[in-house]
Chain A
Amino acid sequence: MDLEVIGEKVVEGDAAAVESLVQQALAEEVPPLEIITRCLLPAMGEVGERFERAEFFVPEMIIASAAMRAGLAVLRPLVVEDQSGAIGYAITGTVQGDVHDLGKNLVGMMLEGAGFQVQDLGADVAPERFVEAVREGRTEIVALSALMTTTMPAMKRTIEALEEAGVRDGVKILVGGAPLTQEYCDEIGADGYAPDASSAVRKTKELLGAI
């Protein structure tokens, strides 16, 4: 079969087609890891580029990410953890007091689409919960989201909690959300700021390159 079609269907956001094409490729004995790295990841790269060129907007990103996830759901159980092709480990979460998670979810999905393994802590996440999650896993990047000027201070509190727990230096902290700025990122001692999901991926790669 023509593996390129899988990527095309991801870009189109056709989850059902992606799922059945992935099954078909597996039946033809294409290795699962190859489907991830040759089809799904490049397709999400393409989605990010279209977003940056203002050809895609949030609705198109949502369905493309869902299509990619439909493919990953089939493939993930078939690849052994260490050969999952993950290029890094990330935690995402919307900070305490803030329940908005659409932007944060998009960042998570785009990170997955770029080959990261992502653990999502959800919304309204207490600083202690971030600390716990960092302690538990092999996290390299902590991505914090806030939609409101009034919940931005919870980002600072989260970073302080990570510092107090002695786990701050082992991770890079990425911040984003509507009211965020590079200045605020610098002020609270985060490592990087990204204005949208697509640039969050670029920034994450940049930060991890620096580890």
Chain B
Amino acid sequence: MNGRERVLLALDHKEPDRVPIDFGGLVTSMHHMAYRSLLEYLGMPSESVQIMDTFQQIVDPAPEIKEMFHADVVGFFPHSGSDYAFELDEETDSFVDEWGVVYHRPPGGYWYDLADHPLKEGTIEELEAFQFPDPLDPARVEGLGDEARRLLEETDKAVMIHAPIGGVYEQSYWVRGLENLYRDMACNKAYVEALAERVLEWLLDFWGLILEEVGPYVHIVELSDDLGSQYGPLFSPDLYREIYKPRHRRLAEFIHSKTEAKVFLHCCGSIYWALPDLIESGIDIINPVQVSAKEMDTARLNREFGRDIVFWGGGADSTRVLPFGTPEKVRDEARRRIEDLAPGGGFVFGTIHNIQAEVPPENVVALFEAAYEYGHYPIGS
């Protein structure tokens, strides 16, 4: 059984030969420092490491590392619009994205943080006058269909297209600022909804353009919208259900109308409360299954939602065990999560978000060794 067959069976809620593994994607890769440590640990040269995503400072791991970790997924990105050229201001260590959002890395920091946002006033007038980048810019898909077809034809992995921007909620706060958007939520709901609608319209146009080109060649479409804190909803579930849920549904329905691919939603935090809503909205796959957050008990998640949604991630507690545990603890943790989530299929093993800078290489190796070793079906045999 090859990686693609394995992933597709899992996405169909069937048990493949072993639990498929995702490693090296936009939210399943490694910080370049952790990656360099890994290469050194493995006795491999680490000079020519390329950053895949500036914001998160993560890498596209080398093919031999992906093979070593039994990765079953390959991914690719849509391109930027033709008017945009990435430029790092080295003096301030900051850059601006296509939407006018400013990112800055504090001295000694491991990655970039959102530092400034174009929508300052939070008025409908400002929103209407604000120029979003052109979602239909043909530069976004130049050569993209060929790239996707090549991945389909020349690899035996599942093919995933990554989300270059956040979802309806996330992109709202990227352009407006988190604290500002929260203030709007509490006292200017009409504005929050107007902003969400404009972001959704952008996403519909954008995915329409992209999927026209790559729709037949991809198995998974990645979206991202964090809804949880460590302890529960980031904002009121009523507001989510009123403003964001219907737009998640419209976006998922649209993507499903354009491709056979499954819709993957990266959604951090404690989101047990939102899972029935996300399932209703047409989300097929939920990531990263942040097990350290409240109410994210993996056995219960699989029992209650395992037939209706695929869990992708969940590999090991990334706030305690992966950075601070021993390799043995990491193995135990990986095994436990597999035993909880793998039975019945519907599980793709991955790290819970990108592996951060100071995670010891021994733990990274132990994690993926355990994923392979304990991941063979029937689980627990």
B356 with A57: CB separation less than 8 A: no
> Given that A13-B186, A63-B187, A124-B106 are known contacts, is A102 also in contact with B179, CB under 8 Å in the complex?
yes
- B63 contacts A by Cβ under 8 Å: no
* Complex contacts, B104 vs chain A, CB 8 Å: 99
* Complex contacts, B292 vs chain A, CB 8 Å: 179
B323 with A100: CB separation less than 8 A: no
- Which chain B residue lies CB-closest to A147? B113
Pick from B108, B186, B230, B357: contact of A59, CB below 8 A: B186
- A120 contacts B by Cβ under 8 Å: no
Stretch at the interface among B204-212, B214-222, B233-241: B233-241
A170 CB, min distance to chain B CBs, angstroms? 29
* Complex contacts, B233 vs chain A, CB 8 Å: 54, 57
- B185 contacts A by Cβ under 8 Å: yes
- B130 contacts A by Cβ under 8 Å: no
B356 with A59: CB separation less than 8 A: no
* Complex contacts, B182 vs chain A, CB 8 Å: 58-59, 62, 102
- B231 contacts A by Cβ under 8 Å: yes
In Å, the complex CA distance between A83 and B187 comes to 34
- A137 contacts B by Cβ under 8 Å: no
- Which chain A residue lies CB-closest to B105? A99
A99 with B106: CB separation less than 8 A: yes
B234 with A99: CB separation less than 8 A: no
B229 with A97: CB separation less than 8 A: no
* Complex contacts, A96 vs chain B, CB 8 Å: 108
> Given that A149-B319, A179-B319, A195-B231 are known contacts, is A59 also in contact with B106, CB under 8 Å in the complex?
no
- Which chain A residue lies CB-closest to B230? A178
- B190 contacts A by Cβ under 8 Å: no
Q: How many residues of B contact A (CB 8 A)?
A: 32
In Å, the complex CA distance between A24 and B164 comes to 52
B229 with A149: CB separation less than 8 A: no
B245 CB, min distance to chain A CBs, angstroms? 16
B293 CB, min distance to chain A CBs, angstroms? 9
B74 CB, min distance to chain A CBs, angstroms? 28
* Complex contacts, A54 vs chain B, CB 8 Å: 232-233
In Å, the complex CA distance between A54 and B231 comes to 10
* Complex contacts, A60 vs chain B, CB 8 Å: 186, 236
* Complex contacts, B108 vs chain A, CB 8 Å: 96-97
- A181 contacts B by Cβ under 8 Å: yes
A187 CB, min distance to chain B CBs, angstroms? 9
A114 CB, min distance to chain B CBs, angstroms? 20
The 8 A CB mask of A94-116 against B (1 = contact, 0 = none) is 00111110100100000000000
> Given that A63-B183, A63-B187, A150-B356 are known contacts, is A196 also in contact with B231, CB under 8 Å in the complex?
yes
- Interface residue SS majority, chain A: loop
Chain A CB within 10 Å, residue with most, of B179, B231, B239: B179
* Complex contacts, A100 vs chain B, CB 8 Å: 113
- The residues in B between 283 and 330 inclusive whose CB is less than 8 angstroms from any CB of A are 292, 318-320, 323
- B358 contacts A by Cβ under 8 Å: yes
- Which chain A residue lies CB-closest to B33? A150
* Complex contacts, A59 vs chain B, CB 8 Å: 182-183, 185-186, 235-236, 239
In Å, the complex CA distance between A207 and B187 comes to 35
* Complex contacts, B186 vs chain A, CB 8 Å: 13, 59-60, 62-63
- B109 contacts A by Cβ under 8 Å: yes
* Complex contacts, A179 vs chain B, CB 8 Å: 292, 319
In Å, the complex CA distance between A181 and B317 comes to 13
- The residues in A between 1 and 54 inclusive whose CB is less than 8 angstroms from any CB of B are 13, 54
* Complex contacts, A105 vs chain B, CB 8 Å: 179
- The residues in B between 233 and 270 inclusive whose CB is less than 8 angstroms from any CB of A are 233-236, 239
* Complex contacts, B229 vs chain A, CB 8 Å: 58, 178
A57 with B234: CB separation less than 8 A: yes
In Å, the complex CA distance between A99 and B114 comes to 9
B187 with A13: CB separation less than 8 A: yes
* Complex contacts, A99 vs chain B, CB 8 Å: 104, 106, 109, 113, 115
A152 CB, min distance to chain B CBs, angstroms? 9
- B68 contacts A by Cβ under 8 Å: no
A181 with B234: CB separation less than 8 A: no
- Which chain B residue lies CB-closest to A94? B106
* Complex contacts, A97 vs chain B, CB 8 Å: 106-110
A191 CB, min distance to chain B CBs, angstroms? 21
In Å, the complex CA distance between A97 and B357 comes to 13
In Å, the complex CA distance between A60 and B79 comes to 38
- B124 contacts A by Cβ under 8 Å: no
A180 CB, min distance to chain B CBs, angstroms? 9
- B178 contacts A by Cβ under 8 Å: yes
In Å, the complex CA distance between A58 and B356 comes to 27
* Complex contacts, B110 vs chain A, CB 8 Å: 97, 148, 150
* Complex contacts, B236 vs chain A, CB 8 Å: 57, 59-60
> Given that A102-B178, A150-B356 are known contacts, is A57 also in contact with B235, CB under 8 Å in the complex?
yes
10 closest A-B pairs by beta carbon, nearest first, are: A59-B186, A59-B182, A59-B185, A63-B186, A179-B319, A57-B235, A124-B106, A97-B108, A57-B236, A99-B113
| CB-defined A-B contacts under 8 Å, sample of 17 | A13-B187, A54-B233, A57-B234, A57-B235, A58-B235, A59-B185, A59-B235, A59-B239, A63-B183, A63-B186, A97-B106, A99-B113, A148-B110, A149-B318, A149-B323, A150-B356, A181-B320
> Which residues of B come within 8 Å of A, CB atoms?
104, 106-110, 113, 115, 178-179, 182-183, 185-187, 229-236, 239, 292, 318-320, 323, 356-358
